[in-house]
């Protein structure tokens, strides 16, 4: 059995040999660097030529990692993902589940935590899958290795979000906090 397994692995590597440059680029993506078969499986599904997909959104939609467009006159009926990508999506979900537990890639864990807080685990995992597919599309289109720089840009605070001290205190009071002044030792109840 082990001998047959080794023969199959050699055959897979032989067939993937012409795509070695693309595989090396894809293996720079987090989660795809450990096992070469994962990168081979993803490349065999999407292909090495990204001119087939005009934008990264086309690749994500083809893989089924984006919500369906199920609207009727401003009413959103469903945000379920499509059933496309039945071979690619499980691999991406498995890689994403492993990445969210890793501390090596804060851009991925930060995105997961931010989306999970208001959408849930499954939607957050699909968002990480989308993030990985977008990175793969850019890597194969630009022929440059993965860098987390684009994901770690600091977000600027909108002007509407800046509060004065009195506004911040009123907001805390509205949320039920009791504010005391240590110097005067009086309790403000509102």
Q: Which residue has the higher pLDDT, 183 or 168?
A: 168
User: Which residues make Cβ contacts (< 8 Å) with residue 87, sequence separation at least 6?
Assistant: 41, 45
Phi, psi angles (nearest 5°) of residue 140: -75, -25
pLDDT, average across residues 77-106: 82
The distance in angstroms from the start CA to the end CA of the chain is 75
- What residues are paired with 76 via a beta bridge? 71
CA 4 to chain centre: 36
Segments making up each domain of the chain, as ranges: 2-150, 159-188
Determine the pLDDT at residue 153: 58
30 neighbors 102 (Cβ within 8 angstroms): yes
Determine the pLDDT at residue 7: 93
Determine the pLDDT at residue 6: 92
Determine the pLDDT at residue 11: 92
Tens digit of each residue's pLDDT (9 = 90 or more) over 4-57: 999 999 998 998 888 888 888 888 888 888 888 888 988 888 888 888 888 888
Burial class (CB in 10 A: 0-12, 13-18, 19+), 136: buried
Regarding pTM above 0.75, the answer is: no
């Amino acid at each position: 059995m082990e001998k047959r397994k080794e023969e199959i692995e050699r055959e897979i590597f032989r067939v993937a040999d012409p795509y070695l440059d693309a595989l090396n680029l894809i293996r720079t993506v987090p989660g795809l660097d450990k096992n070469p078969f994962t990168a081979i499986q993803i490349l065999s599904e999407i292909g090495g030529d990204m001119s087939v997909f005009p934008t990264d959104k086309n690749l994500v939609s083809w893989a089924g990692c984006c919500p369906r467009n199920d609207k009727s006159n401003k009413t959103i009926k469903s945000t379920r993902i499509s059933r496309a990508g039945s071979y690619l999506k499980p691999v991406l979900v498995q890689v994403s589940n492993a990445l969210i537990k890793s501390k090596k890639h804060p851009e991925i864990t930060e995105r997961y935590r931010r989306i999970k807080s208001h959408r849930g685990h499954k939607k957050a995992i699909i968002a990480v899958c989308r993030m990985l597919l977008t990175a793969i599309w850019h890597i194969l289109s630009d022929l440059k290795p993965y860098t987390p720089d684009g994901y770690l840009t600091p977000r600027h605070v909108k002007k509407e979000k800046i509060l004065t001290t009195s506004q911040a205190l009123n907001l805390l009071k509205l949320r039920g906090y009791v504010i005391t002044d240590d110097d005067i030792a009086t309790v403000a109840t509102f």
